[in-house]
Amino acid sequence: MVLETNRIILRNFNEQDLDDLFEYAQVEEVGLNAGWMPHITKEESKLILNMFINSANTFAIVYKEKNKVIGSISLEKDHIRPGVNSKYLGYVLSKDYWGLGLMTECVKKILEYGFFILNLDIITVSHFKENIRSKRVIEKCGFVYEGTLRKSSLLYNGTLKDKCLYSLDKIEFINNN
Which pLDDT tens digit goes with each residue over 20-64?
A: 999 999 998 888 788 778 999 999 999 999 999 999 899 999 999
CA-CA distance, 58 to 54, in Å (whole number)? Answer: 9
Average pLDDT, the chain: 93
CA-CA distance, 61 to 108, in Å (whole number)? Answer: 13
Residue range 107-140, pLDDT digits in tens: 999 999 999 999 999 999 999 999 999 999 999 9
Query: How many domains would you assign to the chain?
Result: 1
CATH number at residue 141: 3.40.630.30
Could you list the residue range(s) of the whole structural domain that residue 22 is in? 3-176
The upper half-sphere exposure of residue 51, i.e. CA atoms within 13 Å in the direction of its Cβ, equals: 9
